[in-house]
Chain A
Amino acid sequence: MKIDPEVKNRLKQLLKREVEQKNKMVVIKSAYQLDKNEIDMVFRALPEFSGMSYETIIEPEVLAGVIVQQGSKIYDLSLSGQLKSLYNKIYEID
């Protein structure tokens, strides 16, 4: 099937815009549903994200705390992340 280059180009641009939009979105992962107050606290702690649109995802593996992600940038403030780094540290001490 032949695709009109014009259409292809448009589709590409659309996809690009969509990805960009998605990357601008701040994703907050937590073990339970955060209330408005708690989300405000997260944004106060990370002023660079303030004013951006966000979505929350519930992930029980986080255990406690939050993982804040925007695009490829990530703040790991979760208990699971801390446990993992502890595990690595103990492994390295000899």
Chain B
Amino acid sequence: MKLIDEYLKTIERELGASKIDLKSSEQGVVTEIKDGVIILQGLDNAAYGELLELDNNCLAYVIDLSDENVGAIVLGDYLSIRSGSKAKALGRSLSIPVADELLGRIVDPLGAPLDNGVKIKTDLYFSVEKVAPGVVAREAVSVPVQTGIKAIDSLIPIGRGQRELIIGDRGTGKTTIAVDTILNQKSENMICVYCAIGQKNSKVAGVAELLKKNYAMDYTIIVSASASDSAAAQYLAPYSASAIAEYFMSKGKDVLVVYDDLTKHAWAYRQISLILRRPAGREAYPGDVFYLHSRLLERACRVDKKHGGGSITALPIIETLEGDVSAYIPTNVISITDGQIVLDVDLFNAGIKPAVNVGLSVSRVGGNAQTKAMKQVAGKLKLDLAQYRDMAAFSQFEGELDEETKKLLNRGAKITQILKQNKNRPYELAEQVVVIWAASKGYLDSLPLHEVDVWETKLISDLRLRKKNLIDSINKNKILDEKMEKEIGKTIEENIENGK
């Protein structure tokens, strides 16, 4: 009984605050219902992006205003809407609840829980569509995002506030790179948002399980609009994820957002646009498909101290067909982002994982953010690899090779080998630095290729056991001085000697 009394009291209190006010609202009538999109008549003064409330308590979001009609996408169950239903404009734009409680949760694009947990309780709502911070509020990228992946941290470094595209065919490990990066943020003081757009529910569940198992859900939020959700939900998901990221950024945090993937987002938007009878352009995408992604990715930024000092790093993912990076959507997103990580099927099949195509991948701003220690060892690495690629292509036709070329080929093969990495096994900065240093200094030249793997595992466990101070000091100070190099060299020599 006490419970009911308390419940009634809450209702009384809530209702006491509201009173009848003489306020007009805009009303319209549903005339057409199409897959997730409704066309209404009336609503003469409705605004773009305004929320509508329908008879069945469903919400709709105005995205099309024409001469006589209003087009809106339905957020929720559109099958129970009847032609002739009334719609009331609510006079506000779409926003989602944001709070620290979101950490560790799986939510839909409207912020409603998908994980059987309680509703997100908060008074703070953030607008889903928001204009990105302007020029004045921004700062150059200066702090790195440690992905924990050797090939990326050394060759294609990513900075906090950067937008780095991950692009490749299906099944080349795009999601793996993104998820591994999230796994590595455990001690990096970063909040992660994983936004699944049009993905299989099983895949999202798998990612959630993996993150939970590795205690990564403590600082991660999953926003999911799966393949079975409406196109409207899929269209909104990345903007919602961005709004959540903006909330944490407004508290001065560094946030990492993964959009997995924007190809399906473009498909969802194409579907909505075709239903709304907007003129179709190339590949039937509407004219503003570029703006669709540019306004989303522009929200990734590093703001200066005066504006909170937080950052949003975006890792959008794009799926290509047959490795064609010059298709419509891929070229669009490549031109928007600050670089791309290209994953290659051939490399993947050759057992080089992560299958990063070092030649095509770039990071346009991340270099400034790379740690000193990594910069010291990676400079040589790039040169060696570039020479190796040239020679490797050439040497396939040549039987006899001179000593110098052989040496280059050997070095290149070793470097390629040490850049391989098992999935879900991120490396600390010091581990990366030591391994790459050893390869670029030529310590591995005499080692057979198939023994490199074993050597690497052994070296890292050795360092952990015997040289903990050295590892800690590299991780902390992020520089490599001569004394350290000597010590590492000695350890590696001993290590190789013992292995024989």
Contacts and interface: CB of A to CB of B under 8 A. Distances in A.
A89 B42 contact: no
B20 A72 contact: no
Contacts of B10: 93
A18 B88 CA distance: 24
Interface stretch (A1-9, A53-61, A73-81): A73-81
Contact of B14 (A45, A71, A77, A89): A89
Contact of A75 (B15, B24, B43, B57): B24
A66 to B, nearest CB: 12
A94 B119 contact: yes
A72 B44 contact: yes
Contact of B22 (A23, A46, A89): A46
A93 B26 contact: no
B360 to A, nearest CB: 51
Choose among A23, A73, A89 the residue with the greatest number of B CB atoms under 10 Å from its CB.
A73
Nearest to B17: A89
A88 interface: yes
Given A82-B20, A94-B119, A72 B14 contact: no
Interface residues of A, number: 20
A77 B24 contact: no
A76 B20 CA distance: 10
A77 B26 CA distance: 14
A73 B45 contact: yes
Contacts of A82: 20
B292 to A, nearest CB: 29
A77 B5 CA distance: 30
B119 A72 contact: no
Nearest to B23: A75
B11 A93 contact: yes
A11 interface: no
A74 B14 contact: no
A16 to B, nearest CB: 10
B25 interface: yes
A72 B22 contact: no
B22 A77 contact: yes
B28 A89 contact: no
B189 interface: no
A88 B56 CA distance: 11
A89 B10 CA distance: 11
A63 interface: no
Contacts of B26: 72-74
A71 B25 contact: no
A86 interface: yes
B487 to A, nearest CB: 61
Contact of B24 (A74, A85, A88): A74
Given A73-B25, A89-B15, 17 more contacts: A46-B22, A71-B44, A72-B43, A72-B45, A73-B24, A73-B26, A73-B44, A74-B26, A74-B27, A75-B24, A88-B57, A89-B18, A90-B11, A93-B10, A93-B11, A93-B14, A94-B119
27 contacts: A23-B44, A69-B27, A71-B42, A71-B44, A72-B26, A72-B27, A72-B28, A72-B42, A72-B43, A72-B44, A72-B45, A73-B24, A73-B25, A73-B26, A73-B44, A74-B24, A74-B27, A74-B88, A76-B25, A77-B20, A77-B22, A89-B14, A89-B15, A89-B18, A91-B57, A93-B10, A93-B11
